[in-house]
C-alpha cells in the first residue's frame, strides 16, 4: 500500500477505505474494470469528506488491477487529499 504524505486524518481514512475496497475479488472486478465511484463521508476526526475509489488496469487490460482510494475535503481541496493504493493481482 502506498499513500501521499498529507493530513494524517485523511490518510487514516484513505487506508481504512482501501482495506474495504480490497475485499472485492479480481474475478468480480475484471468484467467491470475500469470502474470508480465516490461518496460523502465523515473522517475519523469528524470532518466532511469525499471518498473516491477507482479500479484500473495496472498495466494491460486483463492483468493486475490497481485499486486507488482518495479522500479529500471537497472539490476545491482535491489537491490536499490523501491517496492510498494497492494492486489486486490477477489469479494465476
For each of the chain's 92 residues, which pLDDT tens digit applies? 444 445 899 999 999 999 999 999 999 999 999 999 999 999 999 999 999 999 999 999 999 999 999 999 988 888 889 999 999 999 98
Beta bridge pairs of residue 83: 70
Tally of domains within the chain: 1
Is the backbone peptide bond immediately before 34 cis, with ω within 30 degrees of 0? yes
Domain assignment of residue 70, yes or no? yes
DSSP state of 90: P
Instruction: Find the domain containing 70 and state its range.
Output: 25-75
Domain assignment of residue 14, yes or no? no
Burial 51-65 (b: 16+ CB within 10 A, else e): bbbbbeebeeeeeeb
Domain assignment of residue 69, yes or no? yes
β pairing state of 35-42 and 65-72: unpaired
Domain assignment of residue 51, yes or no? yes
Amino acid at each position: 500500500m502506498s499513500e501521499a504524505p498529507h493530513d494524517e486524518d485523511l490518510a487514516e481514512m484513505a487506508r481504512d477505505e482501501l482495506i474495504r475496497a480490497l475485499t472485492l475479488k479480481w474475478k468480480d472486478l475484471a468484467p467491470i474494470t475500469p470502474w470508480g465511484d465516490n461518496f460523502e463521508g465523515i473522517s475519523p476526526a469528524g470532518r466532511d469528506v469525499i471518498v473516491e475509489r477507482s479500479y484500473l488496469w495496472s498495466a494491460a487490460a486483463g492483468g493486475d488491477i490497481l485499486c486507488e482510494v482518495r479522500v479529500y475535503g471537497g472539490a476545491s481541496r482535491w489537491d490536499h487529499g490523501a491517496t492510498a493504493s494497492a494492486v489486486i493481482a490477477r489469479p494465476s
